Amino acid sequence: MLDYKSGRPGSPDWYGERPTHPQLLAYLTALGSDVVALATVNVTAREVRFTGVAASDALLPRVKALPGSVAPDWSTQQRSWEALIERLIRAFLLGEAQVDPAPGACEFCHVTDICRIGAHLAPEAARHADDADE
C-alpha cells in the first residue's frame, strides 16, 4: 500500500494513538490480509524515497520488515492497526472533536481565523467576566 507525497520526506508514525498518515491504515483495514507493506513514496526532482514498514525485507526499496519489538508478526500488527482505525472512526462518528493538535501542527496552519485552540485555555466564566463589569 503506497501513498505518494511530493516535497520533503517525513517519517510516518503508525504506532501511537494518533498515527500520522492514517489513510494508509484505513486502506489496510479495507483491503485486509492482501496488504504486505505500508509506505509513503516521496517524489522530488532529485529522488524517489520509500518510507515505511513491510511484512518482510526486500519488498520495497529501503523499507525494512516490521521490527519484532513492535509486534511478533505482520498479521498481529495488522489487527492492532485495524482496531486503532476502528476506534478513530467510532470517535469521529460520535462527534468527538477535542481541541488537541499534534505537536507542530500550528506552525503550518492556514486557518487561524477559525482556530479553537485558544478557546479551551480559558474557562467560560473568565470570558464573560468583562461583560459583568459593564
Question: pLDDT of 54-93, one tens digit each?
Answer: 999 989 999 999 888 788 899 999 999 999 999 999 998 9
Among 28-37, 76-85, 116-125, the range scoring the smallest mean pLDDT is 116-125
Instruction: Give residue 127's pLDDT.
Output: 46
CB 84 within 8 A of CB 17: yes
Sign of the CA dihedral running 55, 58, 60, 62: positive
Structure-derived torsion over alpha carbons of residues 1, 15, 104, 87, reported in degrees to the nearest 10? 90
134 pLDDT higher than 60 = no
Mean pLDDT of 117-130: 54
Record the cell numbers describing residue 134, joined without a space: 459593564
Q: Are 44 and 7 in contact (CB under 8 A)?
A: yes
- In the numeric block, the cell 503550518 is attached to 108
